[in-house]
């Protein structure tokens, strides 16, 4: 049974490998999510000010 530190290290390595291998997809997904949140934020502000 590995310790918590061992598990965290293993998870960190897996995340690093996954990020290196799929960073383009992650970056694209992040851009899409950020753009969506940004647009919704603008719409919320516009709704608040009654534009």
pLDDT of residue 33: 96
Six-digit token string for 45:
């502000």
Q: What is the pLDDT of residues 2-40, one digit of tens each?
A: 578 888 999 999 999 988 888 888 899 999 999 999 999
pLDDT of residue 2: 55
Q: pTM (2 decimals)?
A: 0.49
Domain that holds residue 20: 1-51
Domain count, the chain: 1
Q: In whole angstroms, what separates CA 2 from the centre of its chain?
A: 28
Are the beta carbons of 10 and 2 closer than 8 angstroms? yes
Are the beta carbons of 35 and 28 closer than 8 angstroms? no
Q: What is the pLDDT of residues 11-20, one digit of tens each?
A: 999 999 988 8
User: What's the whole-number mean pLDDT along residues 44-50?
Assistant: 90
């Amino acid at each position: 049974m590995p310790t918590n530190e061992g598990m965290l290290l293993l998870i960190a390595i897996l995340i690093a490998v996954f990020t290196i291998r799929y960073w383009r997809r992650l970056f694209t997904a992040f851009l899409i999510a950020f753009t969506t949140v940004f647009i919704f934020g603008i719409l919320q502000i516009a709704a608040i000010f009654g534009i």
